[in-house]
Every structure is written in structure tokens, then in C-alpha cells.
Amino acid sequence: MVYIGIKDGKIALHGCGPNLPQGDNGLEMREIKDLTGGAIVGTLVSQINKDGRLYRPEELAKRKILKPGKKEVLVYEGGSYVIKADYTKTDLWNKATGEKVSLKIGEVPGDNLTETVNPYQHAVWEKGKWIVPDDVLASQAVQKRSELLKETDHLVMPDYPILNKDDFIKYRQLLRDITAQKKYPKSITWPVMPEINGGIE
């Protein structure tokens, strides 16, 4: 077991296992500041026993000696425990590339990163949100339209035996006219494909 005590304003490692050193009589209770940013993370209110009593790391949070906050973690470094940023479990996206990124312990996201989920493959960050450019939306719409037209090509062939061929001719024309819609390409009202009349001419 690792034990730690307080000396000179630091949370210091004092030993492991059953044969622990007693520590210095100079261990004292004092106001401790976050070594990474100067913020007060806990106030010690009475003096540690003069026999040099030591605390286990898990006792730190209970006694509010050194308690990590949200997205922080307690790390042993350079002979003492310090609080560091911990965004390892936070999903972040690069505003410039739209790609998902991961940070290491101690790394803090800069202005180039956001926690806002990027739901689109070709989105760009603009005015505080992800948007898909109009040219990308238009390209996607044209591709979808081509696929829907292809699905019904055979139904409008002169020799294809259905009774409601005219319905499909109208449907296909509505597909071609989507580019004339007022909100195209941001918002598109797609025509509904009619059902095939099962009768045979």
C-alpha cells in the first residue's frame, strides 16, 4: 500500500508495504493549493499527530486534502501527488477537420476542439455548430435521386405490363424537380413512390 503525508505544502509519497517509515514530525495541516493551477483544493484544519501519521491515497478525497474535480485525476509525479486534467473519457472533435480526437492525461482541450458531436461525414464547424455545406448536400441529393430513378426505370418501359404507368412517370418527374424546391438543398420534400398496380395490361 502506498501512503502519503503532507509536508511543505505538498502531498508526498512516504512508503509502500507493511514496513512504512514514520515520516517527519514536521508534517502539518495547512491550506494546500492545486499544484497545477494555484486553485485551493482543500483546507486542512488541525495538526497531524507528531508521530508523523501518513494518509493512504484513497483517504485524500475523504479528508478533502486533495480531491480531483470533474474531468481531473490524482497523479503521482515527481515525488508527490498532483491533480491533472483528465479528458481521456471525453469525446472531442477537431473543428478544422471534423475528426474525432483523444487526449492524454494532463492535456486540456484548446479552442480548436469541441465536445459537440459531429454527426456528419462532410460537416464543417461554423457559428458554433456542425453544418454540411450546400454543395455537399446538393451532391448527396443528386446521388439519391439517381438511385430512386434507377429503381423505377423498368416500370416506365413501353412494354412493361403495369396498369398505373402514368403514376410512375409523374413520380419520376417530381424527382427531377426537387432542385426547384425553395429550400433545396438544405431541406427537400421527397415524392413518395406509388404502389405498383398488380394488374396486367
Mean pLDDT for all residues in the chain: 76
Which CA distances in Å does 60 have to 14, 18, 78, 140?
A: 14, 20, 18, 55
Kindly list the domain boundaries of the chain, sorted by start residue.
2-83, 87-121, 133-201
Q: What percent of the chain has pLDDT over 70?
A: 66
Range with the poorest average pLDDT among 40-44, 87-91, 95-99: 40-44
Whole-number Å distance between alpha carbons of 138 and 119: 18
Tens digits of residue pLDDT in 106-128? 999 999 999 999 988 889 999 99
pLDDT in the model for residue 29: 33
What mean pLDDT comes out for the span 150-167? 92
What mean pLDDT comes out for the span 54-59? 58
What mean pLDDT comes out for the span 14-28? 39
pLDDT above 90: residue 43: no
What mean pLDDT comes out for the span 70-76? 88
What mean pLDDT comes out for the span 50-77? 68
Q: What are phi and psi of 167, to 5 degrees?
A: -60, -40
pLDDT in the model for residue 80: 75
pLDDT in the model for residue 15: 42
Strands 124-126 and 129-131: antiparallel
Residues 6+ away with beta carbon under 8 Å from 54: 3, 4, 5, 14, 15, 20, 23, 27
Contact (Cβ atoms closer than 8 angstroms) between residue 101 and residue 88: no
What mean pLDDT comes out for the span 67-75? 87
Can you give the pTM of this predicted structure? 0.52
Q: What percent of the chain has pLDDT over 90?
A: 52
